[in-house]
Amino acid sequence: MNERPDIYGYSDYREFLRDLFAYLKKRKRAFSFRFFSKEAGFSSPSTLKLVMDGNRNLTLESVGKFSRGLGLSKSEADFFSALVRFNQAQTTEEKSEHFQTMAKSDRFRKVRQIEHDQFEYFSHWYHPAIREMIALRSFKEDPAWIAKRLKPVISESDVKRSLKLLQKLGFVIRGGDGVLRVSDPVLSTQAEVRSIAVKNFHKEMCRRAMDSLDHTAPEARDISGITLSMPKRSMEELKKKIDDFRKDLVSSLASMGTADEIYHLNLQLFPLSQERKDD
């Protein structure tokens, strides 16, 4: 490794530590686990190795010591702290919060712009809605018109940011005639970041579904459910049936004519019981 690892390109702090250790050891013959512990202020020479190997987590106090021992700058140390909290967070809400702290870094946005933009896309319900709205027969590229058509209404500034984001990600493109059209780009991002973003999306849409119970007329919505018992081994088969239904639904929409309204369909299947060892 000839260049010093750029911490802003990592989503796993242990991977960063392994790469940085290899780099420093190559550049400085005296650099070792013992040397690091002395510089960082740890009594045990195995601290860095234990953390790198995943056998020990970092505390808030040890994060500062690691930054000092590795010679991180102030901005790198701040990012490292957020990255550690991101990796060690236990809930989606905590991970989302720490990812957004990481995303405030200009270096992060420069190095991982697509990842940051995808996180933003899935974290707000109106981005996918505006993307689909562009395919409507009556669509007008007017922030005021778009904002008022959404339910609930959002600000015109949010619409402008959304249109800019959709074009940056390639979800919509402007044709030679100047008209926006929906596109289907192939995007990739870190699995953990993608997972958090998608969880945020589903949570937001579940909240929208709850709101519709009070603010949408029954004839304009369909919310139903069924509580059932079945063999646990049937779960994969049932999930496949749901997946087949979803694909068939999307396919059949093509023959239903030009779209004039935007909907979101939630399909939810989850356990209400758990098997115990003494059952």
Query: What's residue 274's pLDDT?
Result: 81
Q: Is the pLDDT of residue 21 over 60?
A: yes
Q: What pLDDT digit, counting tens, does each position of 62-88 carry? A: 999 999 999 999 999 999 999 999 999
In the chain, the percentage of residues whose pLDDT exceeds 90 is 57
Establish whether the linkage from the previous residue to 152 is cis, with ω within 30° of 0.
yes
If you average pLDDT over every residue of the chain, what do you get? 89
Distances (CA, A) of 180 to 140, 169, 195: 10, 14, 29
Secondary structure element (H or E) that encloses residue 39, with its range: helix 33-40
* C-alpha to C-alpha distance for 89 and 87, rounded to whole angstroms: 6
Q: Is the pLDDT of residue 166 over 60?
A: yes
* C-alpha to C-alpha distance for 199 and 91, rounded to whole angstroms: 11
Burial 126-145 (b: 16+ CB within 10 A, else e): bbbbbbebbeeeebeeebee
- What's the whole-number mean pLDDT along residues 202-229? 91
Query: What's residue 11's pLDDT?
Result: 85
Query: What's residue 172's pLDDT?
Result: 93
Residue with tokens 């959404």: 150
Query: What count of residues does the chain have?
Result: 279
Query: What's residue 145's pLDDT?
Result: 95
Q: Is the pLDDT of residue 58 over 80?
A: yes
Query: Do 204 and 124 meet the contact criterion of CB atoms below 8 Å apart?
Result: yes
Both tokens of 148, joined, read 């008022």
